[in-house]
Every structure is written in structure tokens, then in C-alpha cells.
Structure 1
């Protein structure tokens, strides 16, 4: 089973956009794909994919309720089909309070003499719902901050795919990846693999090419480079769809550079499958 978390410590680097398009590419390659949106922000993966879910209804069942062991139904009832041949567990506003809710749930379990690992809840929820039997690919999209959302995502997936900006700030984040991964492994007491680093939004300047070379010298997998495709990806958010769907149904003429970008995303998905399945 292929599982990974798409993550960046910096916001605005295309994390959710990349997640949606990788899910689409995996599905095109015959895989049964589930994405789990753990990001409580309004402009999240759930929004991008056009999923209508009662995210502001505190009485509705949602992913946060299952993580604190207070569900109102079966986990599988949370799963929505998308128009892009993969499924999603949508986000909910209750995720904003997840740290506090998990602490309360842990305290209650302790009072009852029960075990409750706040960082391992998502893995347990997915296992109890037989998700590994139903899907061969699970991608989790947490917010761009360290905390229980990220910790649960990593405990469930043990792998990372990291979009970065090839800028001065971006290369600093790349240089810090090894420390970040080691710190997460120590905190969670697990091994975490980096399946790929994805330079995203790359321009044509000499400095950016130098940053890309530095990324390669650091020894990480950078199987593709995504050039600046603002028009394409902004169009995806406007129409609330993946780039594959946008090019196929919303572009009135073929743009070879966009078709090339889609091919690169397919290549990236194939690379992740090979590395992740090893």
C-alpha cells in the first residue's frame, strides 16, 4: 500500500494543488486512491475539489470526531466520491480545535485506565475502517504547521512528498529538511522517508537554476521540476478541479506547455509509486 503526506513548512507553495493532481495521476494509472484533508483552512483541498460537505455544522459527523473517538457514524460514510476517479475524506471546521480536543480525549481515557495515543489516532481510524483493504493509495494533506494534524498524518503514512519554492527562502527549507525529518522521527518514534522533493513555480532565472542544482546536491529525489504555471493552477482553483480536468474541459485550445506539465505530474506519480512501494 502506498501512503504519503504532502507537506511544506511554508504556505503558498502549492501543497494542496499538488495533492489533488497527484491523486488524479495515481487514479489514471489504475490505483484506488483516497485523500484525507486534515487542513481546516477554508481554501483547502476539499474546496479545490468542489466537495460540498457540512464543514461548519458542529453536529455533523466529521473526521475530527473520529480522531477523538466520538464519531456519529461509520468512518466510511465520511468518504465522498470526486469527479476525478478518486475519493476524499473532507475537512471540517472542528479540526481547528483538534489539539485541544485530543488532549481532552487523552485525559478522559487516562481517567478510565484506557490507552489513547494522540499522534496515532488517524492510523487507528483508517485501520478500523479497513481502508487498507479498500484502497491501495492514501494521501494526507495536513496544514503547514507542526502539530497533531501533521503528527497523525505521518504516523499513518511514514512518508513525505515535499513541494518547495526554488528561492532563497525555499533552499533554506530544503537544507532544513533533514533536521525536520529527524526531529519528527524522534518525536513520533518512527522512521519517515522522503519520497520526493518537488521544486514548484520555477522561473527561468539563473539564481533559480542554481537553487535547483543545490537541491540535487543535497541528495534528495527531485524527479521533476514544475515551472511557473500560475494561469493553469489558478484556473483549477477558479473552476474547482484538478489540472487534468481543467485542461480537458475548460481550456478552449491546446497549450503544449500545459500538456507537458500534466505529463510531468504523471511521471512524478509513477516515481512516487516505485519509491513508495519498495
Structure 2
């Protein structure tokens, strides 16, 4: 038993030594490189779609020059490479870290944009890339987080070069979230959960007033309030529906 344990310990020691040598070897490749050379190598690897080596370059750059002129560039480069590699679990805390460390940085708007973009990619979902999926069936949480990040960007940095793109994505995200809320409202109405249906539909009307889902949301409110025997609320919703969507099929059906 003792011999077996000793043999196992020896094997582990050899493994650790080899691992340490490998790690040291990887680190030593930067010894003869300047900060700019490491940075340019990271940029080159990113452009060549070698994202993992790029992240290693940027991390090594920050570790070796934590207080230099390249520390912030290294973090931004790492965020971008992680995003392109679809490593969102690492990219998100990296953006938060940059924002926390450099709240007044001239490119902090880029960090907020990347944060929104990462959540946006999460909102699209991995499976939706390869499998058909209704947009309303996706988890709306990443979409809401993306919307919040983009909203912060356009509100606090309206002159940012990323503001226009963020605004365009916000329109899509608002419709996506509204569509999800409408999906749930329909489900609740069908299942007889009328109060829940009315609340979901009302949420759409209040928070997504320019979305195309407003029309049906108002119709659901009319139906739900009638089922709840709240004629005044039902009539109010119907009046708004008729005034704003006079040609709607729901106006005739619910008359």
C-alpha cells in the first residue's frame, strides 16, 4: 500500500513539474517582447481569428504591464477576443471589471456597448442558430440586460460612435421582449388566468408603446377584464384599441 501511494505521489510530482515547465515555457515567450509587440501580437491573433491565443496575449500584457499605457488596451482587446470566441461567461465580467476600473475612460462607452452586444448575442441563443425557435419562446432575461446596457450607453454617451447601432438594436430588443410578454399573456388568457393575462398585456402597453404588439395586447386586456367582470376597465381598453387601431380585426370581434 505504501509503495503504491509513493508511486502515485511520484507520478503526480512529475505531472506537476511538466505542467509547470509548460506554463513557464508559455510565459517565457513574452520575455523578449515589448508591451507594444505583445499588444500587436494580440491584435494580429484576433484578426486571424485565433481568439484563445489573443486572449493569452492580452492577459500577459496586462500582467506584465499592469500600470502602463497598455493595461486598458489589453483589457479591451481581451473583451473583444472573448466575445468573438463566444466566451460570454468570461467576457461579461471582463466588461464589468473595465467599467469599474476605468469609469471615466475615453472608451468606456465601448465597454458598455460590448456589454450590450454580449447580452444581445445571449438573447439570440445558441440553439436558435441551428434549430427553429419562436423568438417569444426564448428567455427574455438576456434581452432585458442587453436593452439596459444599450440604454445606459445612449443616455450617458449620446455622441458615442456606437450610439446609433445601439439604438437600432434597442428597437429590435423592445419588440423581442414585448413579443415574449404577449406570448405569456396569450397563454394565460387561454388557460383562464385572466388577471395574469391582463397584467402582462398592460405591461406591454405601458412599457412598449411603440411596439407592434400593442394592438393584440389591448385586445387581450378587453377579453381578460370582461372575464373578470370589470366592464369599465374592459371598455377603457376597447376604446383605446378602437381609437388607435380602427381597422383592427379585434375591433370587430370584440364589439
Structure number having the greater strand percentage: 1
TM-score (norm 1): 0.25
Larger Rg: 2
TM-score (norm 2): 0.26
Tell which has more relative contact order, 1 or 2 (C-alpha 8 A, sep 6+).
1
